């Protein structure tokens, strides 16, 4: 039987598909490391905005991506704690401003190369649940289990809108939908590592599933894989 600790589980999907919560809980259940790759792109975007780096300056963004020290640690609730040079940036990287620019920062070749190299290093010994847009296709094409998580646009908007409300951000659903659609478009149509369904991926539509039902579905797959 394969050592349960050594599996690589990769989950991709669009914004609001419940990837982060699913991946976090799944990692907890398995005692695995949870790798939130989106948080890494968000942290870089936050830092670039803070340092007033021109978002169109690919060279400057790539240099920043190579230089910064991002550290992910399990938090007490469903959120992973994100540190940049020892500063806790967990909530700062979820701001509407970061939401707006992160897709643009993550299309830069040098940025992706630096991030993917860090992610591969973190996963090299397995025992990891990696989540993002390209974890099944580019970061861990050798993953033992590949999942593509999706939900209807309506449901994704509802989830994102509620999430923002709990953070005191009062937006309207039309605005949230426009933001999600724009990110979906940039993430899926970019030249480098677009969001797409890997051939070996198991597609789970969780529009009508709770997070624990989604996690259970993936755990069934884990059981099959380690048998
Ligand atoms: O999953 P998220 O919403 O936190 O991701 C934020 C952005 O980061 C998303 O719009 C695209 C980018 N991203 C990416 O390009 N590749 C990944 N593996 C993860 C996220």
* 153 is a domain residue: yes
* 226 is a domain residue: no
How many Å lie between the centroid of ligand 1 and the Cα of residue 28? 21
Residue with the smallest CA separation from ligand 1 atom 3 is 15
Residue 224 CB partners (closer than 8 Å, separation 6+): none
- DSSP state, residue 32: P
Ligand 1 and 15: CB distance under 6 A: yes
Q: What is the pLDDT of residues 128-171, one digit of tens each?
A: 999 999 999 999 999 999 999 999 999 999 999 998 888 888 88
How many Å lie between the centroid of ligand 1 and the Cα of residue 225? 27
* 125 is a domain residue: yes
Among 13, 21, 34, 41, which residue has the most ligand 1 atoms within 8 Å of its CB, making it the best to mutate?
41
State the CATH number of the domain containing residue 117. Answer: 3.40.50.300
**What is the value of pTM for the model shown?**
0.91
How many Å lie between the centroid of ligand 1 and the Cα of residue 105? 10
Please list the residues that pair with 80 across neighbouring strands.
74
* 2 is a domain residue: no
How many Å lie between the centroid of ligand 1 and the Cα of residue 14? 8
One-character DSSP codes across 38-81 = HHHHHHHHHHHHHTT--TT-HHHHHHHHHH--EEEEE-SSSSEE
* 95 is a domain residue: yes
* 1 is a domain residue: no
Q: What pLDDT does 2 receive?
A: 47
Ligand 1 and 46: CB distance under 6 A: no
Residue with the smallest CA separation from ligand 1 atom 16 is 133
Q: What is the pLDDT of residues 217-226, one digit of tens each?
A: 999 999 999 8
Q: What pLDDT does 77 receive?
A: 67
* 160 is a domain residue: yes
How many Å lie between the centroid of ligand 1 and the Cα of residue 2? 31
* 222 is a domain residue: no
How many Å lie between the centroid of ligand 1 and the Cα of residue 213? 24
The string over 19-38, giving b where at least 16 C-beta atoms fall within 10 Å of a residue's C-beta and e elsewhere, is bbbbbbbbbeebebbbbbbb
Low-confidence residues of the chain: pLDDT under 50: 1-2
Task: Work out which ligand 1 atom sits closest to the CA atom of 131.
Answer: 18
Domain with 104, as residue range(s), is 7-217
Number of domains in the chain: 1
Residue with the smallest CA separation from ligand 1 atom 14 is 133
């Amino acid at each position: 039987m394969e050592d349960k600790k050594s599996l690589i589980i990769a989950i991709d999907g669009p914004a609001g598909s419940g990837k982060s919560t699913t991946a976090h809980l799944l990692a907890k259940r398995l005692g695995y490391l949870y790798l939130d790759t989106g948080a890494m792109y968000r942290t870089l975007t936050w830092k670039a905005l803070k340092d007033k780096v021109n978002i169109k300056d690919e060279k400057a963004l790539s240099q920043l991506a190579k230089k910064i020290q991002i550290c992910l640690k399990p938090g007490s609730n469903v959120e992973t704690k994100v540190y940049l040079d020892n500063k806790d940036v967990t909530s700062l990287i979820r701001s509407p401003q970061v939401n707006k620019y992160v897709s643009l920062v993550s299309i830069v070749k040098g940025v992706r190369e630096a991030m993917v190299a860090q992610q591969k290093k973190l996963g090299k010994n397995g025992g990891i649940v990696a989540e993002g847009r390209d974890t099944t296709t580019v970061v861990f094409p050798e993953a033992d289990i590949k999942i593509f998580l999706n939900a209807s646009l309506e449901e994704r908007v509802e989830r994102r809108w509620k999430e923002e409300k709990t953070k005191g951000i009062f937006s309207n659903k039309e605005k949230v939908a426009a933001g999600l659609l724009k990110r979906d478009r940039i993430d899926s149509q970019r030249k480098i590592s677009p969001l797409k369904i890997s051939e070996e991926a198991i597609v789970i539509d969780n529009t009508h599933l709770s997070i624990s039902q989604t996690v259970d579905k993936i755990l069934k797959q884990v059981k099959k894989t380690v048998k």
